[in-house]
Amino acid sequence: MITDPTPQRALRSHLPARPRPQVLHSADHLAVLVARLMPRDRWLIRMLFEHRVLTTDQIVQLCFRGHRTANQRLRLLYEWGVVARFQPHRTVGSNPLHYVLDTAGALVLAHEHGTDLKTLGYSRETELGRAYSLQLAHTVGCNSLLASLVHHARQPGAAGQLSTWWSAARCASVWGDIVTPDAYARWDEAGTTVEWFLEFDFGTERLARIAAKLPRYARLATATGIITPLLVWLPSARREATVRTAFVDTMRGLDHRLVPVATTSPEACADAVDMNLPRWQSLAGGDRVRLADLPSLWPELPPPASSPVSSSGPKLVAAPPPMPPTADGT
């Protein structure tokens, strides 16, 4: 006979209780966090500050071995006020939790750089407001490519490493007077370094507008003397074919050597988001290649410099390394 009438849902705590904001933002609370935050936690703070919003699945790909361990740690970081979270509405099924930087995490980052939240450029209202941003899906989509590439590099025996991935905001702070790519990245494999700008297209931009980006990239190459390949991610094979035609028309009026372009779509490979698979095709056509083989598409392209321009640019906080620290072991 069942003698305990407690319903099962009462045994679960769906929303962890957190101390009052005054406690979470106090100096005493920050002193407690000194002993609690692991190197991976501090790295995740910097990643959220750089890339704005990451889903549970993306965080697992970036720095955990599985969802169970990730959920346990993220729950603690939420309770400590290091991260905040929201779950966007979905008409069918449910979205994963989306994480942004909360005030305690931002304070840790600010103190590491000897500054305050205002100088750091952090606003809790802005971070939580991303739940309503029309750019949320675009940001999450770009970050899915980042997470997938890091996950690829974290596998045992992986040949390559992602050494750089700058967010759209950082790119805008460095090159925004000419171009505003969605990311800038570098991949190292077998002694070869490949760098690229990324344009992530959701299929919402007019063809004329997306094609008009090519002259700006040519202008950047002329102004800096540095030619950087442009990788364009399209939402479907049909959109890719249409955009490629528009690009070819636009390139007739440009020096094609200044703007090496390759495109792909989720349908180009069995894995919809792994950037390192043989999915990139130049505007000249031919076989699709992996990231490490991109130089074969443009034999005349000089190798990239030993290091990119300043990792911080006008920003106070330098771009975090995209690969997580290994000290935590999980």
Q: What is the 3-state secondary structure (H, E, C) of 184-243?
A: EEEEEECCEEEEEEEEECCCCCCHHHHHCHHHHHHHHHHHHCCCCCEEEECCCHHHHHHH
pLDDT value, residue 163? 96
Residue 166 pairs with which residues in a beta bridge?
A: 184
**pLDDT of the chain, 330 residues: tens digit per residue:** 445 454 544 444 455 667 677 777 788 999 999 999 999 999 999 999 999 999 999 999 999 999 999 999 999 999 999 999 999 988 888 899 999 999 999 999 999 999 999 999 999 999 999 999 999 999 999 999 999 999 999 999 999 999 999 999 999 999 999 999 999 999 999 999 999 999 999 998 999 999 999 999 999 999 999 999 999 999 999 999 999 999 999 999 999 999 999 999 999 998 999 999 999 999 999 999 999 999 999 999 999 987 776 655 567 899 999 999 985 655
pLDDT value, residue 13? 46
pLDDT value, residue 245? 97
Task: Provide the residue count of the chain.
Answer: 330
> How far are the Cα atoms of 44, 168, 183, 240 from residue 231, in angstroms, in the given order?
26, 14, 10, 12
Which is nearest to 81 in space by CA: 14, 23, 13, 40?
A: 23
199 class by beta-carbon count within 10 Å (0-12 exposed, 13-18 middle, 19+ buried): buried
Spatial distance between the Cα atoms of 221 and 233, rounded to a whole number of angstroms: 21
Question: What region, left, alpha or beta, does residue 180 occupy, with left being phi > 0 and alpha being psi -120 to 50 degrees?
Answer: beta
Which is nearest to 297 in space by CA: 184, 212, 196?
A: 196
At 201-229, the pLDDT tens digits run 999 899 999 999 999 999 999 999 999 99
Residue 267 has φ and ψ, to the nearest 5°, of: -80, -5
> How far are the Cα atoms of 4, 36, 57, 285, 316 from residue 324, in angstroms, in the given order?
46, 18, 15, 36, 21
At 222-252, the pLDDT tens digits run 999 999 999 999 999 999 999 999 999 999 9
Question: CB-based contacts of 7: which residues, under 8 Å, 6+ apart?
Answer: none
274 class by beta-carbon count within 10 Å (0-12 exposed, 13-18 middle, 19+ buried): middle
What distance separates the 2 farthest-apart alpha carbons in the chain?
83
pLDDT value, residue 20? 74
Q: Are 75 and 16 in contact (CB under 8 A)?
A: yes
Spatial distance between the Cα atoms of 80 and 138, rounded to a whole number of angstroms: 29
